[in-house]
Each structure stands twice: as C-alpha cells, then as structure tokens.
Copies of this chain bind each other. A is one copy, B any other.
Amino acid sequence: MKHKTVEYYRDKLKDEGYKVTPQRVEVIRSLIELDHPTAGEIQSSIEEQYPMISPSTVYGALELLEDIGELIPIQEGSETRYDLSPKVHPHYICEDTGKVYDLEEAELKEKLSDLIACGPDEITRVELNFYGPCNGPESEED
C-alpha cells in the first residue's frame, strides 16, 4: 500500500485554499508512518518531537483531510482509526487488538469465498454498509 508524499498533501491543501501549517504537516506525516492510527496515537507521535499539539488541532486536521477526500475514517470499537487513502477498500480488523489490515483484491476474493463456503472459522463478523442520502435506496421513509 504505497502512500503519496507529504509534498502531494501540501500542494493539495494549498490548491484547496487551506493553509499549510506545521501541525497539519505533522499529522499527515504521522498518518503516513503510523499504520491506521487513532487520533490519540497521532497526537502522541507528534508530541515526541513537538512540545504540545492539542486534540482539537489533530481532529481539525483529520476532518480537513476527510473533506478533501484524502482520508477514510474506520470506526474500531469506541475509537476511530484513519486510513490515508482516497479510495474505498475492504478491511480486515482484528477483534483483539483493533489492528486494521487493508485487503487487496485477491484477499477479498478469498474472504468472500470463505464466507460463501460457510466455513469461516476465522471471520467472526462482517460489515457491509453503504452510506448516502435517505432517498437513495427505496425510501422506506418514516
């Protein structure tokens, strides 16, 4: 899973009219280095070098990246992990550790055929959720 460079994100921020601050750059760097980190992990990682970065700044940067279509949030239990990727793809999430694995196409097929064969010893749960406006599916409105 190759990531884009920090430079790419700097330019993208600039292009979209947002300021390129050191904090935002650090958040991006953490997202590249940290394998599906939580907001807290990102903050801790940055604090190793920078004296203090506030949660609101971290969350703000994450929301910004989401808005410009470069970040995908993954709800893992009670906290959110973040995936620096513009495109949707399936995940395998460890229920014990919360670790997130990106699934490649071949692995996806494998997982699906496991399920279809009704022999998923490993897979304990599957989520397939589509998001959109209420009028999307067939409007069983309330």
The chain A residues found within 8 Å of chain B, CB to CB, are 35, 74-75, 88-97, 99, 101, 103, 107-108, 111, 120, 122-138, 140, 142
Q: In the bound complex, what is the Cα–Cα distance between A34 and B119 (angstroms)?
A: 33
How many copies of this chain are found per oligomer?
2
Quick one: given A92-B136, A136-B123, A137-B92, are A130 and B111 in contact (CB under 8 Å)? yes
Most chain B CB neighbours (cut-off 10 Å) among A95, A122, A126, A132: A132
A selection of 18 A-B contacts at a CB cut-off of 8 Å is A92-B130, A93-B129, A93-B130, A94-B133, A94-B136, A95-B132, A97-B142, A101-B137, A103-B137, A122-B133, A123-B131, A123-B132, A124-B131, A124-B132, A124-B133, A125-B130, A125-B132, A126-B129
